[in-house]
Structure 1
Amino acid sequence: MMIRRRLLAPTAIAAAAALLLAGCGRDTDSPAQADDAVELTSGPASGTVTIWAQGTEGEALTEFIKPFEEANPDVTVKVTAVPWDSAQNKYQTAVAGGTTPDIGMLGSDWMPTFANALQPKPEAIDTSGMFDFATTSTTFDGVEYAVPWYVETRVLFYRTDLAEQAGFDTFPTDWDGFKALAQAYQDEAGAEYGVALPSGGWNSFLSSLPFAWSNGAEVMDADQTTWTLDTPEVTGAVDYIDSFFADGIANRNPDAEAGSTTAAFVDGSVPMFMSGPWDIPGLKTAGGEGFEDKFGVGLVPASPDGTSTSFAAGANLAVFKDAENPEAAWKLVEWLSQPEVQVDWFSAVNDLPAQESAWDDPTLTADPKVAGFGEQLKSVKIAPTLTTWPQVSAAADTQLEQILRGDKDPAVALGELQSTADSLGTGQ
């Protein structure tokens, strides 16, 4: 998978957590209160606002916010584009040194680490129309510390032309049908492998969670106090994934070179994989004229007793405690959170809107591939909002690789993972 470049490597974020928890006093500081938030005035924004943003977002933001600057002629917004591979170090150093920007673009999975360095969201900024999972990622002890900017989820990309050749007119909705399609891609459409699935390495466990969630599994209890990683539901999902490798339908050791998944999808050698919305334009470009009519997206298949459920993530806009111009910063965040602005942002960079009402716009409904992501967003879960999750996830990656590449018994591996998670605790 596929967790887009937004997610930090587990070891990196764990190190960041250790530093920030020490520097910000997570164990000793009192939680922020709602009345600590900035009160927004009705006038236009003024002064200088600094914002750091990563990747494509950082590159596109300067041009995109010109309408905001035109509507607020006394404000100047300075955007710093930060590479994803150095963002973690840059933010943690800035927090420790009191040199943060006014606004930071924080991945939803970063929030537990950085929460104590952030200001509470002003009450005047309404997030009630946003996806619940997105606002959940910003909320600690009942206080929201950021505003969701965009969201992500994962669906199955599949070759519709080769599926028809293999005898499938529609994408399967259950596990049996999904595996049958993957097998038919090989038997009837000449594919080398029917589907690309994670077999180990960074975030492979997180990439597998949609199958576990679609089998009724949870990785924690509802209160996030107890890990539940060795249940029959998790084990059943791992057994199901493992069966693709055991039957030769998926490759245990796929090519990890950048662009290899796209190339295999375009040439039909591996006509199905799971990923996010950013791959839509990339596949159209790689496949050339007419290729957009040869592929579609399907929802995560469900087990016989489960419901299609995928992974969700995204990025939030947060204002740091050390912000020099917090009111103007929050006004920019508020502008970027408007449904019509989020639709324009999707058109600019293909980021999915966090505002649910934005999904009624023809810009998102006209393309069935994009609309498919909107449908999947109705049933998603996020990773645990805990500082120990990166360590648990990294341990899970190791165990999953030993199962899928080393034939380790799933029950044994998940039992060991449960013990590791119990020893790490929840960080609360």
Structure 2
Amino acid sequence: MKTSTRAVLGIALAAVVLVAAAFWLGRGGDSAGRTVLRMRIWDASFVPVYRDSLAAFERVNPDVRVEVTVVPWASYPQKLRLDVSGGTADDLFWTNAFEDYADAGRLIPIDGSIGDAAGWDASAVAQYTRGGRLWAVPQFVDGGTAVFYNRDLLAAAGVDPGEVGSARWGSGDGDEFTGLLRRLAAVAPYAYNAGGDFQSLELPYLGSAGGRFQDGERFVFDEPPGVVAFSYLRGLIAQGLAPSAADTNGSGDFAKTAFLQGKMALFQSGTFNLAQIAEQARFGWGVAMLPSGPAGRVSTNNAIGVAGNAATRHPDAVRRVLAWLGSAAGNRFVGENGTTVPAVLADQPIYREYWSRKGIDVRPFFDVLTGPRIASGGGPGFPAALKAIEPILAEMFLGRTPVPDALHRARAAAERAAHP
């Protein structure tokens, strides 16, 4: 074959590949003539939930089909950023850090034609509002943070479950919680899960010490209340009342696994772990309120929203899906099997009723939210800031860096990452 002939064939083949790739990435319909949309999430356990919800949507919108794709959380933020900037992102996608996309005009604004914000959880609406506009349809909220306890280990230590929720942490005579943990440490390998868990531990302790993570978009967690909060957590690890940071720094599931194995007496976490604990725990357990700190009992309430890609080829269909997912009829599916708390207010009783039928009292996750809350943070560059903070705090929890120094370094790293 002549060189020129091979060149022509090569160009033709390359053109076919490019056309096929373009068709695949931008495909708009299926064999039935329906518009096909892609929706990206990071938790595979929600696939059946969305499959049921979207099947109901498709019955009244037969011209649209929605495919759910899963990108694991470990690579989700980075991949989404690359895909959005490259124009290959899905038509809809979960988000919990949306500010950069909103500021760059990458998201479809959520207006009254999509849903009524008054019908959604107020904290979720506030979380996804920027510049006076809403940028994602709230899907579910975590509720507040509470403490799962192992009834058998508490009984062995002579600890009444009521003591867990009434205990206070602090310094000197005001530190009832450490004393309680010492009693539990006598009967369990681990008394508690103190360590580097941003939502379930760091934020509640920071808030109950009277501190804040951010002031506007400026990081302030290294102020004196932050030193008090992180010093307390580090102290629990140093006293052997919690797993070594060498175990927990590298595994976000180490503490949960220890609790499920009956090796940990108290596990502080949120509703996002409730279903797994209910399914896998082979011992009696319950849920108690958070311990109170110098500034009281403080929690946060994070939400997950679904955003519409402004670059979609099918904006009308995307808006219809967003409207469905934000409606009582579409959102109820996330609460029906106790998966999580629906963001639609009218659907939230479904979640509580599910767990009530199971004999599980979930009130501590909600009662804590009647008090003060600490904001979970946000703003442009927030994911990069958290990533910059993590290794510095990991060294602090290992005891290699004094708490004040580590917090100052972490704050400076967060500012550089968020505002390069």
Q: TM-score range by the shorter chain?
A: 0.7 to 0.9
- 1:139 maps to which residue? 129
Task: Give structure 1 stretches of 5+ with no counterpart.
Answer: 1-45
- 1:336 maps to which residue? 325
Deviations 1:358-415 (A, max 9, x none): 3334525625443332334445444322233334333433333333322532223223
- 1:178 maps to which residue? 177
Residue from 108, 112, 116 that aligns with 1:126: 116
Deviation at 1:236, TM superposition (A): 0.8
Q: 1:193, 1:251 within 8 Å by CA — same for their partners in 2?
A: yes
Q: TM-score, normalised by structure 2?
A: 0.77
Alignment of 1:311-326 (within 5 A): 311-326=300-315
Query: Residue type of the partner of 1:405?
Result: L
Residue from 268, 274, 280 that aligns with 1:274: 268
Report SS of the residue matched to 1:248: coil
Query: Residue type of the partner of 1:50?
Result: R
Count of matched residue positions in the alignment of Structure 1 and Structure 2: 368
Residue from 27, 33, 37 that aligns with 1:49: 37
Counterpart-to-counterpart distance in 2, 1:418 and 1:371 = 35
Deviations 1:340-375 (A, max 9, x none): 543332224602211234333452562544333233
Distance 1:242 1:258, change over 3 A: closer
- 1:414 maps to which residue? 407
Distance 1:258 1:309, change over 3 A: closer
- 1:13 maps to which residue? none
Deviations 1:213-250 (A, max 9, x none): 111101222x33x3322211111111211221232212
Q: CA RMSD in A?
A: 2.9
Distance 1:72 1:105, change over 3 A: same
Query: Residue type of the partner of 1:213?
Result: G
Is 1:194 the equivalent of 2:191?
yes
Report SS of the residue matched to 2:47: helix
Is 1:161 the equivalent of 2:157?
no
Query: Residue type of the partner of 2:393?
Result: L
Is 1:79 the equivalent of 2:73?
no
Distance 1:238 1:331, change over 3 A: same
Is 1:113 the equivalent of 2:100?
yes
Counterpart-to-counterpart distance in 1, 2:355 and 2:338 = 17
Residue from 84, 101, 115 that aligns with 1:95: 84
Distance 1:48 1:377, change over 3 A: farther
Deviation at 1:195, TM superposition (A): 0.7
Counterpart-to-counterpart distance in 1, 2:75 and 2:234 = 35
- 1:214 maps to which residue? 208
Counterpart-to-counterpart distance in 2, 1:206 and 1:266 = 17
Counterpart-to-counterpart distance in 1, 2:364 and 2:223 = 30
Q: 2:212, 2:375 within 8 Å by CA — same for their partners in 1?
A: no
Counterpart-to-counterpart distance in 1, 2:237 and 2:206 = 17
Task: Give structure 2 stretches of 5+ with no counterpart.
Answer: 1-33, 170-174
Residue from 288, 310, 316 that aligns with 1:327: 316
- 1:284 maps to which residue? 278
- 2:247 maps to which residue? 254
Residue from 387, 390, 400 that aligns with 1:394: 387
Counterpart-to-counterpart distance in 1, 2:118 and 2:273 = 29
Deviation at 1:257, TM superposition (A): 6.1
Q: 1:396, 1:417 within 8 Å by CA — same for their partners in 2?
A: yes
Query: Residue type of the partner of 1:336?
Result: L
Distance 1:237 1:355, change over 3 A: same
Q: 1:339, 1:353 within 8 Å by CA — same for their partners in 2?
A: no
Deviations 1:85-135 (A, max 9, x none): 4433543343233333321122x1x21232231011122311223233312
- 1:384 maps to which residue? 377
Q: 1:342, 1:358 within 8 Å by CA — same for their partners in 2?
A: yes
Q: 2:52, 2:333 within 8 Å by CA — same for their partners in 1?
A: no
Report SS of the residue matched to 2:395: helix
Report SS of the residue matched to 2:180: helix
